[in-house]
Structure 1
Amino acid sequence: MHDLLVIGGGINGVGIARDAAGRGLSVVLCEKDDLAAHTSSASTKLIHGGLRYLEQYDFALVRKALIEREILLRAAPHIIWPMRFVLPYDKDLRPAWLIRLGLFIYDHLGGRKMLPPTKTLRRRKTHRLDPLKDEFRLAFEYSDCWVEDSRLVVLNAVDAVERGADVLTRTACVALVRHADHWEATLKGPDGVKTVMARAVVNAAGGWVDDVLGLAEPGANQTHLRLVKGSHIIVRRWHEGEHAYFFQNGDGRIMFAIPYERGEFTLIGTTDVPYEANKDKVEISQDEIDYLCAGASEYYKREIKPSDVVATYSGVRPLYDDHAANASKVTRDYVLNCDRAGGAPILSVFGGKITTFRELAEHALKELGPDFPGMGKVWTKTASLPGGDIPQAGFEDFLRGASLRHAWMEQRLLRRLARAYGTRMDRVIGDAKTMASLGRHFGGGLYEAEVRYLIDAEFAMSAEDILWRRSKLRLHLTEAEQAGLANWFAEEAVA
């Protein structure tokens, strides 16, 4: 008998599983696909307060997210790092004083300590505006953070397992039966069907949360979600520097243009489109590609064309349906519903932001507190994620030390491994002392030693798991190299 069955391997599910396991609860998590296979790997990859939510007067959400921003930056400075955002001033959209006021609030609402404040930029005194059309002579530069979103999910799952949880990927919950003091769940995975007993269920299935409720309450036909598709395009590097741009569109939407994957690409997004199609196969539409290209081209001197797009990704945000008329206005905050009617509890998670997953997990376990009076105290606020125990969150100092230890390694590869694995990079490298001793090179700086580590320690089971979720190396491997990795999995991964 487990204490908790968590259904869903996105950021909310793994965050709750990690927190619960760290408090001494017996936890099993099941995910029907790979970890972060859907929404949690399709974000804009920002840990941020959500500057645009100030216009909706959602100060509570912004403050909560800004507080979490610094907590997470300390917990995982290898996969989360500061980034400066340049917001060009367009006199036809919002007055400059209003933008500056909003940024002042943004700087101070969450108790910012680690990040630099907003500053004003003028074209004649900065090169930040050089890629933009000459009409943009004024801009504001503020701070937020970048996150490797799917790695954040995986590291939470790794930590949960190390604290005693069971994490079952490719394992769907296909039936739920409620009893007075426990749930009986039927799980179907690679090894067949098995039954799991748990005193409580957490339904963190994201876009499938209503489907899980249908299993728990057969015959019920309630819809709590509003599905909104967000799509991104990836183009070759469009501007120099490590800063990003924040563009305001005439339709009220905002758009980011962000340095991506070693600065070789630019990530542009996102859209907000109501979605009712297949949640397992979410793809960008041509209209969205055209929209993103046109929106960015309103600011850049060089026109971005659909032919410039080298890759895309899309995800469905499972937002709580607050009946807002506009998809962009639907709340991004989460809603928890704990149902104890008729027996053992089931707690369902609706909505949420990747930035606030840790606080959401704490809140979820507080809701379940009456069911587990012996549960331990809160602990995640000051705890590092795996590989994140870098002194004073000083990544560059850590990297210098790693460079001395592994002087034989190509610096480009060394930096990527340090970013991906932090203090656990030596577990990836193992006993290797030369590039050749890392094993087969699959291309793009991916070696067999890393692949085997991802299989052994991070739940990877396919080439896709590695190339798109444990990393973004698919952008750096040729189609032939990708096929080589897939063939290796088919022939040798189980050896």
Structure 2
Amino acid sequence: MGHSLVSDSYDIAVIGGGVNGCGIARDAAGRGVRVLLLERGDLAGGTSSASTKLIHGGLRYLEHYEFGLVREALGERERLWGIAPHIIHPMRFVLPHVKGLRPRWLLRLGLFLYDHIGGRRALPATEGIDLRRHVAGQALKPGFGPGFVYSDGWVDDARLVVLNARDAADRGATVLTRTEALRLERRDGHWLIHARDQTFRARTVVNAAGPAVLDLLGRAGCVSGRHIRLVRGSHIVVPALFDHDFAYFFQNPDGRIFFALPYEGAFTLIGTTDRDHDGPLTGVRASEEEVAYLCEAASAYFAKPVTPGDVVWRFAGVRPLVDEGSGKPEAATRGYVFDLDREGGAPLLSVFGGKITTYRHLAQEAVDRLRPFLPALKDGEWTADAPLPGGDFPKEELAALIRALATDYPFLDPATLSRIGRAYGTLARSWLGQARDAAALGRDFGHGLSQAEVDYLIDREWAMTAQDIVWRRTKLGLRLSVGQVQALEDYMRERA
């Protein structure tokens, strides 16, 4: 197919529609430059929708003396909650003390540091508890006594990515999904980015391809002295093991840790593993061995054993960690670094590493690094206070927002109202509109997923397949039947 040169020329082309790429596109678009975002699949189609869904400082990174990373991440928790209070909310984590593992004084010291180095203001502080009397102790095996409860945050990771892309587009960015950058070449001080049937022109390129960062450098004819370590993190989802709002932070005898989180109202999410990954970067799956490992780990704590047969969903993502020669995968840094290749006058900025919690700060730093090459780029930290789409309400008032939706749309059931409020925030009304009954929202695809919502996701959130909707824009894949998903796929195909 012949290439047609797109007449538009961009200041920044961001390649990679994960959390870092979408965050960078949003930051740059808000600073008044022309931005293009290219993603070869769906937004958040890879690692960014396969996280443990936490906005957290990384308590265990203190053991590896990563104080700077923890401080940065802790500082971001309340900022992100403030700009996206619909998809981010605080969560209290229960950390049982286990004899023979980390001593109680070490846990207490770590949690003291965690409470005090990151600018915690609104989140409640750590407290000691007795699991024999605490509600979180009821789901555990007998024998647990002292423990701690501390604060961190939960995030709908895939929606965080999509909302950053939506905000970038609202500020003038061009966002193209299912558009792979096949080859990049420097010409006359610019970049030409060749996709399957069109070519884009840009003054600078940001390589935010995540695990494929080195592959993209190769497509640009560049080499890097950096090494990245690809580490697979796998998770399992099982029917709920407890019916309260606390999450658990557990220690394993092998020195690793894992989480058990309340998930989507009726499930428990357990993860993660840390395994070196050497397979393809698409279709990444949790291995049977990882599933067994997580089941065994959870069964050591919960009164109800967890078996592979209980698993209703498994997912895995590959984290591209900066390889600084640490031995174990779990010891590899979760920090990030940038490489700037400015040969031939056309800069290429590559992002190595990072984690969801630090995405906004990373994005700001990445755009700052391109300032010398883009005179039109405005200065300033604006993303820390500007709400993401739907997040323009006070951060403690999500419950009030959901109650207001219930008043105006009484025909929706409580579970659907909660899901909609937590996904769209104030934007829920943009597609619920003046509806006075369920029929006004069109076809019902099951579990409260209406034609009006599906149309909104196609028109405003780049959804192209049923999988985009049921696993990334919503998490209704856990509830919809195979037939319901097929009906949704058929509708989307007809509508296209």
TM-score by length of 1: 0.96
Contact 1:234 1:312 in 2 (8 A): yes
Contact 2:412 2:448 in 1 (8 A): no
Task: Give the Cα separation in 1 of the matches to 2:194 and 2:404.
Answer: 48
Identity, % of aligned pairs?
A: 53
Task: Give the Cα separation in 2 of the matches to 1:305 and 1:80.
Answer: 30
Report the Cα offset of residue 223 of structure 1.
Answer: 5.7
Pick from 375, 397, 400 the counterpart of residue 397 of structure 1: 400
What does the per-residue CA deviation read over 1:96-116, in whole Å, with 9 as the maximum and x for residues that have no partner?
111011101101111101111
Report the Cα offset of residue 257 of structure 1.
Answer: 0.4
Report the Cα offset of residue 392 of structure 1.
Answer: 4.6
Q: Does 1:54 align with 2:62?
A: yes
Contact 1:179 1:343 in 2 (8 A): no
Contact 2:235 2:271 in 1 (8 A): yes
Pick from 7, 22, 38 the counterpart of residue 46 of structure 2: 38
Residue 220 of structure 2: aligned partner: 216
Task: Give the Cα separation in 2 of the matches to 1:163 and 1:391.
Answer: 23
SS of structure 2 residue aligned to 1:17: helix
Residue 20 of structure 1: aligned partner: 28
Task: Give the Cα separation in 2 of the matches to 1:304 and 1:392.
Answer: 35
Residue 87 of structure 2: aligned partner: 79
Report the Cα offset of residue 369 of structure 1.
Answer: 1.3
Residue 4 of structure 1: aligned partner: 12
Task: Give the Cα separation in 2 of the matches to 1:445 and 1:408.
Answer: 11
Residue 194 of structure 1: aligned partner: 198
Q: Does 1:322 align with 2:324?
A: yes
What does the per-residue CA deviation read over 1:128-151, in whole Å, with 9 as the maximum and x for residues that have no partner?
111112121111110101000000
Residue 489 of structure 2: aligned partner: 486
Contact 1:210 1:222 in 2 (8 A): no
Residue 201 of structure 1 aligns with an amino acid whose one-letter code is V
Residue 98 of structure 1: aligned partner: 106
Alignment of 1:22-421 (within 5 A): 22-188=30-196, 193-217=197-221, 220=223, 224-262=227-265, 264-376=266-378, 377-421=380-424
Residue 6 of structure 2: aligned partner: none
What does the per-residue CA deviation read over 1:325-375, in whole Å, with 9 as the maximum and x for residues that have no partner?
111111101111111123210000011000000000111011111112331
Residue 416 of structure 2 aligns with an amino acid whose one-letter code is L
Q: Relative to structure 2, which stretch is displaced further, 9-18 or 404-413?
A: 404-413
Pick from 415, 419, 424 the counterpart of residue 427 of structure 2: 424
Report the Cα offset of residue 393 of structure 1.
Answer: 4.2
Q: Relative to structure 2, which stretch is displaced further, 205-214 or 427-436?
A: 427-436
Residue 483 of structure 2 aligns with an amino acid whose one-letter code is A
Q: Relative to structure 2, which stretch is displaced further, 295-304 or 27-36?
A: 295-304
Task: Give the Cα separation in 1 of the matches to 2:98 and 2:477.
Answer: 37
Report the Cα offset of residue 316 of structure 1.
Answer: 0.5
Task: Give the Cα separation in 2 of the matches to 1:206 and 1:395.
Answer: 32
What does the per-residue CA deviation read over 1:399-456, in whole Å, with 9 as the maximum and x for residues that have no partner?
2222222233322212211110000000121232101211111112211110000001
Residue 370 of structure 1 aligns with an amino acid whose one-letter code is P
Report the Cα offset of residue 41 of structure 1.
Answer: 0.2
Task: Give the Cα separation in 1 of the matches to 2:225 and 2:472.
Answer: 32
Contact 1:214 1:221 in 2 (8 A): no
Task: Give the Cα separation in 1 of the matches to 2:310 and 2:87.
Answer: 28
The number of residue pairs the alignment matches comes to 487
| Aligned-CA RMSD value | 1.2
Report the Cα offset of residue 179 of structure 1.
Answer: 3.0
Task: Give the Cα separation in 2 of the matches to 1:123 and 1:8.
Answer: 44
Q: Relative to structure 2, which stretch is displaced further, 222-231 or 142-151?
A: 222-231
Q: For structure 2, which runs of at least 5 residues remain unmatched after alignment?
A: 1-8
- Over 3 Å counting, the alpha-carbon distance change for 1:223 and 1:335 in structure 2 is closer
SS of structure 2 residue aligned to 1:214: helix
Q: Relative to structure 2, which stretch is displaced further, 316-325 or 167-176?
A: 316-325
Contact 2:18 2:46 in 1 (8 A): yes
Contact 1:73 1:393 in 2 (8 A): no
Residue 242 of structure 2 aligns with an amino acid whose one-letter code is H
Report the Cα offset of residue 388 of structure 1.
Answer: 0.2
SS of structure 2 residue aligned to 1:196: strand
Q: Relative to structure 2, which stretch is displaced further, 415-424 or 128-137?
A: 128-137
Residue 157 of structure 1 aligns with an amino acid whose one-letter code is A
SS of structure 1 residue aligned to 2:319: strand
- Over 3 Å counting, the alpha-carbon distance change for 1:163 and 1:128 in structure 2 is same
What does the per-residue CA deviation read over 1:20-70, in whole Å, with 9 as the maximum and x for residues that have no partner?
000001000100000000000000000000000011110100000001000
What does the per-residue CA deviation read over 1:229-273, in whole Å, with 9 as the maximum and x for residues that have no partner?
0000010000120111111001111100000012x0000000000
SS of structure 2 residue aligned to 1:23: coil
